[in-house]
Homo-oligomer: A and B are copies of this chain.
Amino acid sequence: MNASKPKIVVLGAGYAGMMTTKRLCQQLQPEEADIVLINKHNYHYQTTWLHEVAAGTINHNLARIMISDVINPNRVRLIYDSVVKVNKEEQLVELENGEVSYDYLVFSLGFETNTFGIKGMDEHAFFINDIDTCREIDSHIEYQFAKYRNEENANDDSLAILVGGGGFTGIELLGELVEKVPKLCKKYDIDRNKVRIINVEAAPTILPGFDKDLVAYAKDSLQSRGVEFMENAKIQECTEDGFIVGDDHEEIKAGTVVWTGGVKGSSVLGESGFELTKGKVTVNEDLRAPGEENIFILGDCAWVMNKEEGRPYPPTAQAAMQHADTCANNIRALLHDEPLKAFKFSDKGTVASLGVTDGMGTVLSGTKLYGKPAATMKKVVDNRYLFLLGGPKLVLRKGKFRPF
């Protein structure tokens, strides 16, 4: 590295970090700046595909991409290590195995699961965090089925799958589970009727904030394939055996418990002394951390305010990628002493999958989509991202062309 050249360090190779790095490479000449990308693993994974890994409906290798396959290691220095803390005073990133200085920092370390202090949840529930946790969920569910027939007086509860939280991730996970469970039943000679799939949501309805028609559609679709919904049901506690739910402390037993009910920004934010609101940093409209000239915070670590509505934009992959565009532009502006621009969210709609052939959501102008068209659109969205990241080759290699 050249000491006279400014050094841009990107933390985390999620949607925001990968796309920022990609855009910086496109917009800056090598002599303008050094770029460093730091990530725990040598692969990027698609957070929005993790529910499929957890249910085992796709192989986890489809959901991950070697970073060096899409980021040129001759242009970007790639460091595979865990970030411990950002030392803002000294402009240093402390890693588990070293430290890296920066002139400009892009903080995009993604989310962690938020259990909101629900007793026992950290100890007993699985989380949809990353490739590692999701393939454990898949293997755990299958192991419950494999064990079942070898137990005397086997308990059907061990087959039950309990999903805490009826938000986007929870609902998409249920969509995959209703496809996976019948296959496991066939494989292990188990009656499908013995396997309960239960969703517990504290709000009056699943998918709070979503259009009512879409929610009704999702619920119908999943119920018709055997999902039991408990709405208005607050989880009091998670135990080894399942959930304790509601004011009457009903016990819902299951061999597999997955919590999808909440996320917060990376805990490195707090370690580094950023001021937090509900676990994230509320950033300026140019996406910089308040009071910081050279630190951008993106993706699931940031609250980006929608001034018109007076509340933050939802933390989606779509938003994270748009953050990346704005951030890369603004870093170039800083290098060129140009004025920074404000982030503007362009809502291209949101589509949720409900298994391979079903889905629901809105596109562009708010048009509602249901069923196969929605499922198709979801795959188009997934493949569009691959195209942005790695061009047509990546789409062909990792894209979703699941048969209908």
Contact = CB atoms under 8 A, between A and B. Distances in A.
Interface in A141-170: 142-143, 145-147, 149-150
Interface string A125-149: 0000000110110111011011101
22 contacts: A132-B149, A132-B150, A133-B150, A135-B146, A135-B188, A136-B143, A136-B146, A136-B147, A136-B149, A138-B146, A139-B139, A139-B142, A139-B143, A139-B145, A139-B146, A139-B147, A140-B143, A140-B146, A140-B147, A142-B142, A142-B143, A143-B143
Which 10 A/B pairs are nearest by Cβ-Cβ distance?
A: A139-B146, A143-B143, A136-B146, A132-B149, A139-B143, A135-B146, A132-B150, A136-B150, A139-B142, A136-B147
A211 to B, nearest CB: 36
A47 to B, nearest CB: 17
Contacts of A143: 136, 139-140, 142-143
What is the interface of chain A mostly: helix, strand, loop, or mixed?
A: helix
Interface residues of A, number: 15
A118 to B, nearest CB: 20
A350 B136 CA distance: 40
Given A136-B143, A140-B146, 18 more contacts: A132-B150, A133-B150, A135-B146, A135-B188, A136-B147, A136-B149, A136-B150, A138-B146, A139-B139, A139-B142, A139-B143, A139-B145, A139-B146, A139-B147, A140-B147, A142-B142, A142-B143, A143-B143
A136 B147 CA distance: 6
Contacts of A142: 139, 142-143
Nearest to A138: B146
Contacts of A138: 146
Contacts of A146: 135-136, 138-140
Contacts of A135: 146, 188
A60 to B, nearest CB: 8
Nearest to A41: B189
A138 B147 CA distance: 11
A296 to B, nearest CB: 30
A297 to B, nearest CB: 27
Interface string A174-216: 0000000000000010000000000000000000000000000
A152 to B, nearest CB: 12
Contacts of A188: 135
Contacts of A145: 139
A277 to B, nearest CB: 29
A75 B188 CA distance: 29
A156 to B, nearest CB: 16
A394 to B, nearest CB: 21
Contacts of A139: 139, 142-143, 145-147
A40 to B, nearest CB: 11
A147 B139 CA distance: 8
A143 B256 CA distance: 13
A150 B125 CA distance: 13
A181 to B, nearest CB: 15
A197 B126 CA distance: 29
Interface string A100-142: 0000000000000000000000000000000011011011101
A136 B132 CA distance: 21
Interface string A76-110: 00000000000000000000000000000000000
Nearest to A147: B136
A269 B142 CA distance: 35
Interface in A269-312: none
A146 B139 CA distance: 7
Nearest to A127: B150
Interface centre among A136, A138, A146 (most CB of B within 10 A): A146
